[in-house]
Structures are given as C-alpha cells and as structure tokens.
C-alpha cells in the first residue's frame, strides 16, 4: 500500500494559488455588488454569499475551458511539461506580485493579462510558446475593449435617459431594500416599505447584474489562480476549482468588505444606472470570450465601457444644427442632471445652450490615461520579470 505525500513545492504552490484566489475575491466583490450595497439594497454578507456562489458557478461550468487554455498541453504552451513545480511557484509569484503593484497604485489591473503574460514568458524562455494561440488571445484583447466602448457609447447617446427612468432606487441609510426574514422554516424575501413596484424592479436588476458579474468573474478569473498548478498534472481540474473558489469565498467575506465600503475603484463610482450598463456590457463580453476559451479582462473592458458611456452621454446633447455648421461641440450639464433626477430630458439637439462646458468635463482624460497605462504596465511587469527569471536563473533548469 502506497501513501501519497504532498511535496513541499506543491504545498507552496497551493498556498500561493490560495493567496491569489483570496485577492481575486477581495478585488472583484466590490465592482460586482458595490452598486447594490452602496444603494443599501442588500447587506455586505448577502453580497459576499452571492459573489461566492455565482463565482463558483461560473468557475465550474465555463471556467475549465479557460484553465485548459492557460495550463493545458498544446494550448498557450505547446508542451505543459515545462510547468515544473519550481516554475509553477515562480509564475504565481509574478502574477501576485504584479497585481500587488497595481493595487498599491490604486489602479485595478487585469488578472487575466497578468497571468497570460507570466505563463507566456515561461513558454518563450523555454521555446514552448504557442505563438498562434497567443496571437488569437491578444487579438481578442484588442477587439473586446473597442466593442465595449462602442456598445456603451451607443447606449449612452440614445438609450441612457430611458434606462435611467426605469431603474430608480431611492437609497436609505436606515433600512435595507431587500432583506430576509426567518420567521418560518424557510427565509422569506421582504422589500422595504412593502415594495414599491418600480423600486423593487430596480433592486432586482441591480442584484441580478451583480450575480452576472460574479458569474463572469468565475468563468475567467479562476484560471488565473489555478492554471499553473493544473499544468503540472499533479492535481486534477475540479479539485483545483474547488480550492480556488474556496479561497475566493474567504476573500469575499473578509477583505472585500473594504472594497464594498468604497464601492471599488472603477465602475462603482458611477451613477447606479451607468454602473449597471457597464456591468451588463462587460460581463456579457467576458462570458462569451470565456466560453471560447479566451482569458478575458473584465477590468480593461469595463474601463473602455466607462469611457464609451461617458462619451455617448456627452455627445447626446450636441446640437445637430451647430455640428453641421462646424461649431464647437457643447454639452449641457443641466440635461445630465435631469437624467439623474428622473426628469424629462430634451431630445438631442433641442437643449438650451446655457451653462455648457466641454465634453471632457464629464470624465478626466488624465485619470483615464493613467488607468490605461497602468493596466498595461502591470502585465508587462509580470511578463518581463518572469522571462528574465526563467531565462537567466539556472535553478529552474531551463
């Protein structure tokens, strides 16, 4: 009778993978459920529970396809045998370290781009990189954010006021809009004040979108924590998914409380309706790409969706007649305020040209540039650091 002994390096690799999953849970819960918690629709505990469940659901259904792309034989790496335990620990170290740099800079970085960079560096250093697969992934990384920008831009220009009128939630500091009462055998859902139909609809939409974001995060992000270990062949796919999802759950119930307090650094600082639009567009794109086995970056797609939505809302108040005359584009702050308050909004080109700043006042171009730059610098740190390590440090045996 033989006994399987956990090797020290495998143990270290699993610990680092858990740490990566823990941080994924902490970083993604805020963007997913920040709008719902910020509007006092649900509690932080319920947000963490929903995030954990739907992340696992995405990880166990579509997630394996992305894990195969990053850690499977003949995928991103032509020969997964280069995933030795030493290389595995190093790859996870560079993924976690680079993401820490992004978090320290206050910029949400792409875990998918960072992970692909570190794994690609391993393949390049060993001559096992599948350039065709990497090119396919990189192509989607270019197309997806552009698609998110234009879809959100069209929504912002033509449909935002109507959507904003449908989704209306009056925040309350005293009482949750949705709560569970345990006065019977099974908990029952209760809405604040008996449940105004319009407000209840908005609440359900906000929570449903959070669940969609959690699901999309699971489809793509679980691979970033477990793919290197899966590539070694020492642990099966589904035990690793369970381990990664458990680590994400711990992060959801602990460090995610801070991101929920601040509503995150990216889409959750938008008006509620705008946050929902960005979440729907970004999550849908991520889910589609994950189903194709492409590790997608929700953060980058969401960032470009935010920019597109702001651009669309700005240009909707441009006077068509003035544009035809070649005059300077102007944006009505009053119209934008009316949208947020649910008031009647004039048709495009019919706004009063009073108190009208430039479109750039709707979002800060300098901040936008800083975010985009850092979102590319963080994966670059992971890629370059990993390549130099695998190429020049003999201990890895390559």
pLDDT in tens, 170-222: 555 555 666 655 655 555 555 555 555 666 777 788 888 889 989 998 998 89
Average pLDDT over residues 332-348: 41
Whether residue 31 lies inside any domain: the answer is yes
Whether residue 395 lies inside any domain: the answer is no
State the Cα angle at 178 between 171 and 298, rounded to 5°. 75
Residue 71 has pLDDT above 70, yes or no: yes
Q: pLDDT tier at 89 (50, 70, 90 boundaries)?
A: confident
d(CA 101, CA 381): 9
State the Cα angle at 267 between 262 and 270, rounded to 5°. 80
Residue 41 has pLDDT above 60, yes or no: yes
Torsion of Cα atoms, 223 then 225 then 230 then 232, to 10°: 140
Whether residue 100 lies inside any domain: the answer is yes
Domains held by the chain: number: 1
Of the listed ranges 15-19, 40-44, 347-351, the one predicted with least confidence = 347-351
Whether residue 85 lies inside any domain: the answer is yes
In this prediction, residue 86 carries a pLDDT of 82
Whether residue 396 lies inside any domain: the answer is no
Which residue range forms the structural domain that includes residue 79? 8-388
Q: What are phi and psi of 349, to 5 degrees?
A: 90, -5
Q: What are phi and psi of 237, to 5 degrees?
A: -60, -55
Whether residue 397 lies inside any domain: the answer is no
**For 281-299, what is each residue's pLDDT tens digit?**
988 998 899 888 888 877 7
Contact in structure between 50 and 33 (CB atoms under 8 Å)? yes
Q: pLDDT tier at 351 (50, 70, 90 boundaries)?
A: very low
Residue 61 has pLDDT above 90, yes or no: yes
Report CA-CA distances (Å) from 221 to 19, 241, 359: 13, 11, 35
In this prediction, residue 5 carries a pLDDT of 53
Residue 40 has pLDDT above 90, yes or no: no
3-state secondary structure of 380: helix
3-state secondary structure of 191: strand
Q: 309 versus 41: which is more confidently predicted?
A: 309
Whether residue 186 lies inside any domain: the answer is yes
Give DSSP secondary structure letters for 148-178: HHHHHHHHHHHTHHHHHHH------SSS-SE
In this prediction, residue 324 carries a pLDDT of 42
**For 152-165, what is each residue's pLDDT tens digit?**
999 988 888 888 77
Q: 37 versus 252: which is more confidently predicted?
A: 252
């Amino acid at each position: 009778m033989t006994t399987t002994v956990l090797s020290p390096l495998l143990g270290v690799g699993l610990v680092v993978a858990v740490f990566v999953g823990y941080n994924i849970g902490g970083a993604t819960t805020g963007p997913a459920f920040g709008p719902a918690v910020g509007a006092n629709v649900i509690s932080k505990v319920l947000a963490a529970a929903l995030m954990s469940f739907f992340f696992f659901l995405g990880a166990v259904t579509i997630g394996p396809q992305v894990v195969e792309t990053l850690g499977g034989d003949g995928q991103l790496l032509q020969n997964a045998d280069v995933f030795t335990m030493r290389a595995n620990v190093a790859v996870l170290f560079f993924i976690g370290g680079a993401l820490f740099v992004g978090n320290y800079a206050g910029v949400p970085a792409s875990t998918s781009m960072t992970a692909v960079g570190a794994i690609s560096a391993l393949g390049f250093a060993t001559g096992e990189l599948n350039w065709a697969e990497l090119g396919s992934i990189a192509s989607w990384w270019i197309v997806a954010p552009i698609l998110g920008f234009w879809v959100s831009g069209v929504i912002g220009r033509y449909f935002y006021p109507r959507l904003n009128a449908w989704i209306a939630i009056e925040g309350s500091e005293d009482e949750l809009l949705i709560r569970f009462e345990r006065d019977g055998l099974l908990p029952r859902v209760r809405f604040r004040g008996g449940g105004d139909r319009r407000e209840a609809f908005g609440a359900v939409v906000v929570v449903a979108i959070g669940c969609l974001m959690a699901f999309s995060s699971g489809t793509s992000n679980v691979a970033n924590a477990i793919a290197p270990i899966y590539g070694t062949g020492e642990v099966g796919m589904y035990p690793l998914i369970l381990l990664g999802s458990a680590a994400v759950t711990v992060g959801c119930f602990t460090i995610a409380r801070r991101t929920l307090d601040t509503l995150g650094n990216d889409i959750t600082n938008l008006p509620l309706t705008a946050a929902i639009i960005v979440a729907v567009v970004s999550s849908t794109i991520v889910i589609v790409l994950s189903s194709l086995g492409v590790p997608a970056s929700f953060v980058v797609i969401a960032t470009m969706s935010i920019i597109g939505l702001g651009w669309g809302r700005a240009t909707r108040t441009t006077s068509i007649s003035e544009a035809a005359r070649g005059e300077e584009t102007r944006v009505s702050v009053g119209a934008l305020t009316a949208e947020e308050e649910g008031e009647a909004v004039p048709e495009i080109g019919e706004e009063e040209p009073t108190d009208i700043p430039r479109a750039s006042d709707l979002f800060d171009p300098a901040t936008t540039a800083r975010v985009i730059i850092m979102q590319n610098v963080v994966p670059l740190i992971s890629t370059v650091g990993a390549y130099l390590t695998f190429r020049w440090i003999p201990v890895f045996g390559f």
